[in-house]
Structure 1
Amino acid sequence: MSAEHTESPEHTENEAADPGPAPAPAEASGDRFADLPGGIRICYRVDGPADGTPLLLVAGLALDLTSWPQRMVQGFVDRGFRVIRFDNRDAGRSTRMAAPPPGRLRQLLARPRTDAYDLADMAADTRGLLDHLGVDRVHLVGMSMGGMIAQTLAARHPDRAATLTSIFSTTGNRRVGQPATSTLIRMARPAARTAEESVERHLSLLAHIGSAVHPPDEQLERTWARAVWDRRGGPRSGAEVARQVGAIQASGDRTAQVRRITVPTLVVHGDTDPMVHPSGGRATARAIPGARHVLVPGMRHHLAPGVLDHLVDLTTGLARTERVKSESRES
């Protein structure tokens, strides 16, 4: 999760729907689109060999598909995976929903609108993308809200998941995984209105949720934040972020659902995460039968260069273990 991508400005429930993204620049030529039966258009990219083992990356709150560091994507490709990543609805170049966003008071009280979409709807989008690509089973990797979506897909459609890796995510139980007050204050600032302000907001929040043990590459982050601004065509109203927050809140406590997950699962969390408290990772691992819980010392709420290779190795190890078990069952 990054700074400019977690802001939720003041707005009312009567605020007009977003006008939609401006045309993407030429740099977004790797983007492809899937038109799903429900009318949602999902933007996605695929990296790696066509015959590689499918692995799906599910991004967090308000983050687009480029939020997965290229070093991480390439790490999976080098290990033989066909890597699929996409923009969730209300992010990047995917469909911006027409429903009014929840107001600030509703968000603070966790009282979602009755017409809010939820994580099950977002998991259905994910499943629809897999159908579009002709992928039956996939190794699921989700971070933060993306971890919640991946959990939902694995619980509801276990036949579509080979393994699940949930990174700094939680169960929806409000007694665990809550952001620090200092993080909520930073998230409440109005959305940036210029590219320069957007970049500085990103770096400012990253200084808070990032790690001194595993520091970010500031120049890389600055370049990425500007590219995200250009890719989406400029400023956003903040309504799309609020709707995604509403989706999380509309889904409530998913612990009972998470307990139904049967695929091999890895739960990864940093030990000092100020965005999703480490208790969220512990609760997730406790709920999923047989899940492995890995607490990474010094990691916070950022995919920093210093943790990427470790995350790739952990996920790859899980996938290899599942493959061996599948082959032994078939023999």
Structure 2
Amino acid sequence: MSAPHRTPRALTLPRLAVTLAAVALGAVACSSGGGHTTSAPSSGPGTRATATATAATTTATTAVSAVVPNSALSGPGAFLGPVRQTPVDGIQIGYRQFGSGPDLIMVMGDTGTMSDWTVDLLSWLGRNYHVTIFDNRGVGYTTDDTSVPDTIPLMADDTVGLIEALDLRYPALLGWSMGGEIGLTVAALHPGAISALVSTGGDLGGSHAINTPPAVAKELNSPETTGPQMMDLLFPADAGTARTAYIEQLGLIPPEKVSNRTLLRQYQAGQAYESFEGTWDKLPDSTVPMLITNGSLDKITPPGNASIITQRAKHAELVAFPDAGHAMLVQDSGRFVSLVTQFTKASGIG
């Protein structure tokens, strides 16, 4: 029997950020030390000061990129540098670049913005990689073309277009939630564009996905859902320290705007992915090494999806985080960064 119909997670991360931003900013303003910093990974990525120093060597890689005025950050997020925009597929994609090493491009989920990545996660990755983060179409600093339907394959095309526009050197791709689904679609439909894939909290779409339980989907998309309720969906009940740290981290970078039109369009993109079989069909032909991660307690993307992906792909390994939920990559950032670093080195990257 097929899994129940899934309501997409299109409203999850942006509403979480908006709901918690005021609380997080208040907490940071009252703190003498800035934000909460979790323990560093065993590989020792270093400090934000080091990331800031490496960011100083990063320059725009294409003449058509333009710096967005007043987009540079101060404080803990200063190492991210300013937002730049470059034309891709008839839209302008907003992105930031920082760090040094082999190229890594990060794809955010369900209308989430660049500001929804945590500073700690980015600073650690910036010690090991030259990182590109960006806003998907219609989100934050990226424009949209509303004359065409928004879909996961279209956002995968955008990602490949940005890789080409910035002349990235065969990057690894890291995607979270819908970003993981975009990454899987890139690996399936454009395998020559990336050197490796790390997907967390995604699925293969179509008839093969294990769908979000209806009660969870309803809570995700309800305007009545509060910040604490959303945190219950992202983190296990006993992960209080991780929840607090995430709230504080969200307050370190000013939130970007997401319009109601974009919320609807990416909701529709998630709906369309439920009937799209292209990622499933083409994934076995991909030669891209893949690291598939998932929290074993993930309420949003059932962890069985990670097993389905791993069995379907020829070059995939699965790592489950036993005590983590959908936000496992921020709940246990240290272990996650170390895992990503080890995986890309084993794949001959860096």
Say whether 1:143 aligns with 2:176: yes
Contact in 2 for aligned 1:171/1:255 (Cα 8 Å): yes
1:8-54 Cα distance to aligned partner (Å, 9 max, x none): xxxxxxxxxxxxxxx98774972111112x321111111113xx200
Partner residue of 2:347? 322
| Residues 44-55 of structure 1 aligned to structure 2 (within 5 Å) | 44-49=95-100, 52-55=101-104
How far did 1:126 drift? 0.8
Decide which of 34, 39, 45 is 2:86's aligned counterpart.
Answer: 34
Return closer, same or farther for 1:207/1:222 CA change in 2, 3 Å cut-off.
farther
Contact in 1 for aligned 2:149/2:265 (Cα 8 Å): yes
How far did 1:88 drift? 0.5
TM-score, length-scaled by structure 1: 0.75
Partner residue of 1:84? 132
How far did 1:292 drift? 0.5
Which amino acid in structure 2 is aligned with residue 244 of structure 1? Q
The alignment partner of 2:340 has SS state of helix
Return closer, same or farther for 1:176/1:157 CA change in 2, 3 Å cut-off.
closer
1:111-163 Cα distance to aligned partner (Å, 9 max, x none): xxxx5232221111111111221114001111111011111112222222111
Partner residue of 1:246? 268
Contact in 2 for aligned 1:5/1:202 (Cα 8 Å): no
Contact in 2 for aligned 1:90/1:240 (Cα 8 Å): yes
| Residues 304-315 of structure 1 aligned to structure 2 (within 5 Å) | 305-315=330-340
Quick one: distance in 1 between partners of 2:282 and 2:346? Answer: 24
Q: Give me the CA root mean square deviation.
A: 2.8
Contact in 1 for aligned 2:72/2:83 (Cα 8 Å): no
Partner residue of 1:133? 166
Return closer, same or farther for 1:3/1:159 CA change in 2, 3 Å cut-off.
closer
Say whether 1:58 aligns with 2:107: yes
| Residues 157-168 of structure 1 aligned to structure 2 (within 5 Å) | 157-168=190-201
TM-score, length-scaled by structure 2: 0.71
Which amino acid in structure 2 is aligned with residue 285 of structure 1? T
How far did 1:174 drift? 4.0
Aligned pair count reads 279
Contact in 1 for aligned 2:12/2:110 (Cα 8 Å): no
How far did 1:91 drift? 1.7
Percent of aligned pairs with the same residue?
A: 23
Partner residue of 1:19? none
Say whether 1:302 aligns with 2:327: yes
Partner residue of 1:278? 303
The alignment partner of 2:318 has SS state of strand
Return closer, same or farther for 1:85/1:244 CA change in 2, 3 Å cut-off.
same
Contact in 1 for aligned 2:329/2:336 (Cα 8 Å): no
The alignment partner of 1:259 has SS state of helix
Partner residue of 1:11? none
How far did 1:77 drift? 1.9
Structure 1 residue ranges without an equivalent (≥5): 8-22, 100-114, 192-199, 327-331
Contact in 2 for aligned 1:148/1:169 (Cα 8 Å): yes
How far did 1:58 drift? 0.5
Contact in 2 for aligned 1:163/1:265 (Cα 8 Å): yes
Partner residue of 1:218? 244
Contact in 2 for aligned 1:144/1:168 (Cα 8 Å): yes
Return closer, same or farther for 1:4/1:138 CA change in 2, 3 Å cut-off.
closer
Which amino acid in structure 2 is aligned with residue 265 of structure 1? M
Decide which of 130, 134, 142 is 1:94's aligned counterpart.
Answer: 142
Contact in 2 for aligned 1:138/1:163 (Cα 8 Å): yes
Decide which of 227, 230, 240 is 1:205's aligned counterpart.
Answer: 230
The alignment partner of 2:223 has SS state of coil
Structure 2 residue ranges without an equivalent (≥5): 1-8, 17-68, 75-80
Q: Is 244-253 or 143-152 further displaced after alignment?
A: 244-253
